[in-house]
Amino acid sequence: MTTVTGLGKRYRANWALRDCGFELKRGRVTALVGANGAGKTTLLTLLAGLMPPDEGTVHSEGRVRFVAQDKPLYKRFTVAEMLMQAEQLNNVWDQRKAERWLRMFNVPLDRQCGRLSSGQHAQVAFAAALGAVPDVLLLDEPLANLDPLVRKKVMAELLDEVADGKMSLVLSTHVVGELSGVADEILLLSRGHLVLDGELDELMTQHLYYVGPRSDEPPSGEVVQARHRQQQSTFLVRDQSAADLDGPWITRPVSVEDLVLAYLDREDAK
């Protein structure tokens, strides 16, 4: 439903994003991860159509809504007035959906936006985006400013929204420990390039740890991360042939967090 091909963006002479290609499907959650300055916000802004690419294309079907990191609201408006404005700006609007979200997170409709806590402020931005019943919802670091319980609840509710298979959700995040059970797909950016992308379940089966005697190489596979102690080496590898393993090596599964951090670490060291 969204197809991205050869996407690139530069600010003056510097490419912030290059050669980016992937698809976003309905009913799927895509996590966009990468170090500070990797190009996540640039990619989301291009997906939202808020600035033109310098190369490549984004083709999206349906309504795309974007909640930016700073989530601008009119400070003097009450929450209810903010929703009324969102209604006027959108051809399709579901007031019940927006109000339900705000009730769930205890945000008073009659409170001025300038008097909301940063967490409540974020909820108003989410409610306004969801009220527009988007086909593609893009959230730039939606979990920042939220306490751990609210983060969990927001994620659970967003997953519910995706579950009926109509919407595609993309969220950028630095909270990689909370991706397991949330993300179906991953896009990992490093210095403007996609270095890992695909279905998370598939990527998990393609990666594993080899633990064995101190050595320079693992028994097979492409090394993503290597750690050595005096007598022991541990390799996180991308490998599909581990089933035939014999010799001194043992294998261990990787977690989503291990996988993402290992790739971030590898790219950081380049």
Ligand X SMILES: Nc1ncnc2c1ncn2[C@@H]1O[C@H](COP(=O)(O)OP(=O)(O)OP(=O)(O)O)[C@@H](O)[C@H]1O
Least Å distance, CB 263 to ligand X, is 15
Least Å distance, CB 149 to ligand X, is 24
Radius of gyration of the chain (CA): 21
Query: Can you tell me the distance from the alpha carbon of 207 to that of 50, in angstroms, rounded to the nearest whole number?
Result: 36
Q: Which of the residues 42 through 81 are near ligand X (CB under 6 A)?
A: 42
Nearer residue to ligand X within complex by CB, 16 or 186? 16
Query: Can you tell me the distance from the alpha carbon of 83 to that of 31, in angstroms, rounded to the nearest whole number?
Result: 27
Q: Which of 8, 29, 34, 133 binds ligand X (CB under 6 A)?
A: 34
Considering the rule CB under 6 A, would residue 11 count as an interface residue with ligand X?
yes
Contact window for ligand X (CB under 6 A) among 39-47, 216-224, 234-242, 245-253: 39-47
Q: Which of 6, 21, 25, 37 binds ligand X (CB under 6 A)?
A: 37
Contact (Cβ atoms closer than 8 angstroms) between residue 199 and residue 184: yes
Q: 247-269 burial, b if ≥16 CB within 10 A, otherwise e?
A: eebebeebebebbbbbbbebbee
Least Å distance, CB 234 to ligand X, is 29
Helix, strand counts (H, E) of the chain: 7, 13
Amino acid at 142: P
Contact track, ligand X, 157-186, x by CB under 6 A: ------------------------------
Contacts with ligand X by CB under 6 A lie at 11, 16, 34, 36-42
